[in-house]
């Protein structure tokens, strides 16, 4: 696997791993059932994204083991101090901005990626934009 391609895929796996754990953690503190369900669904979405990306690592000869063992930067206790569901969703939306920035940067860096992989990443980014809209709808 080309080094640049492997780097891009690993960065996206890492950010989705963080997203998956953050949303799962946040869902434990959200009181509103719709919000709880949405966060669980978005956590599962990131898990699916990781599986898709790990497929490309395998396909192109990269090692999945290294990608799955990334050090997570999330803090599972940051939602404990949030005083409301709205405060939790504010934190989550900040995380979503970080995820989008990573996808934008990786798409920009990956202009010479295999077309199938590039389209998969672009599709995931599009799905993230829809997820952000769903999160925003719960804040109002």
* pTM beyond 0.75, yes or no: yes
pLDDT in tens, 85-123: 988 999 899 999 999 999 999 999 988 899 999 999 999
pLDDT in tens, 48-86: 999 999 999 888 777 666 554 444 555 666 787 788 998
Q: Is 61 left (phi over 0), alpha (psi -120 to 50) or beta?
A: left
Q: Rounded to whole angstroms, how far apart are CA atoms 70 and 62?
A: 15
The residue extents of the domains of the chain are: 3-71+80-139
Q: Identify the pLDDT of residue 20.
A: 94
Which residues fall within 8 angstroms of residue 46, CB to CB, at 6 or more apart?
16, 17, 19, 20, 23
Structure token pair of residue 116? 């199938």
Class level of CATH domain 3-71+80-139: mainly alpha
């Amino acid at each position: 696997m080309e080094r640049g391609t492997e780097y891009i895929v690993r960065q996206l796996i890492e950010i989705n791993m963080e997203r998956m754990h953050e949303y799962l953690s946040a869902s434990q503190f959200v009181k509103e059932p719709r919000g709880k369900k949405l966060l669980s669904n978005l956590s599962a979405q990131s898990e699916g994204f990781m599986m898709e990306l790990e497929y490309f690592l395998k396909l192109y000869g990269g090692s999945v083991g290294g990608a799955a063992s990334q050090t997570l930067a999330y803090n599972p206790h940051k939602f404990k101090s949030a005083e409301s569901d709205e405060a939790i969703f504010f934190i989550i939306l900040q995380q979503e901005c970080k995820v989008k920035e990573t996808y934008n940067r990786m798409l920009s860096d990956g202009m010479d990626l295999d077309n199938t992989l590039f389209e998969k990443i672009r599709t995931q980014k599009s799905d993230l934009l829809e997820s952000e809209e769903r999160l925003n709808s719960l804040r109002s």
